[in-house]
Amino acid sequence: MKPIVLYSSKSGNTEKIASEIASELSCSCIKITKDFNSSTANLRDFDLVFLGTGNYGAKPNADMLNYLNEMNPKKNVNFALFITWFGRGKTDKAVYDKIKATVEAKGQRLLDNYYSCLFEGPSIIARLIFPKTRGHPTAEDLSNARKWARELIK
């Protein structure tokens, strides 16, 4: 199975998880930005595409959504989602559901098994004032992401 990691990241937390997964699987890792050309990531060469996004008020990164809306894989591809987020509650399911609807609208499949990396702590305002409180993802978070990716590849 040939994987690739595509991710969007604002704070760098999703990027850290993406890099860990790509390193674990010895595959390419590509950052999706606002100006990203969807034809740059030719998905027909891959069997599994790992998608990484932050969770922003129960919504995925807009750059990732734009990419998914523009992509044209030209073959059936399996997608696997990993989410990084800060807060409390279960809003990661809303992000999963939005990505799933977008991927399926393109005739593709999003696996049910997704990795959610929750950073619990003070409010977002407190994080902005005290950025050193971030410290995420932890070594345990990174280890869990590697394990999740390995299990999906099996």
Q: Mean pLDDT in the chain?
A: 86
CATH number of the domain enclosing 44: 3.40.50.360
pLDDT in tens, 2-35: 999 999 998 888 999 999 999 999 999 999 999 8
Q: Which domain holds residue 62?
A: 3-153
Alpha-carbon distances, residue 65 vs 2, 8, 93, 99, 154 (angstroms):
23, 10, 16, 7, 28
Q: What is the pLDDT of residues 36-79, one digit of tens each?
A: 887 777 888 898 999 999 887 888 999 999 999 988 887 888 99
CB contact burial 32-45 (16+ within 10 A = b; e otherwise): beeebebeebebee
Whether this model's pTM surpasses 0.85: yes
Indicate the pLDDT class of residue 124, thresholds 50, 70 and 90. Answer: low
- Domain count of the chain? 1
- Mean pLDDT across the stretch 114-132? 63
More confident residue, 87 or 83: 83
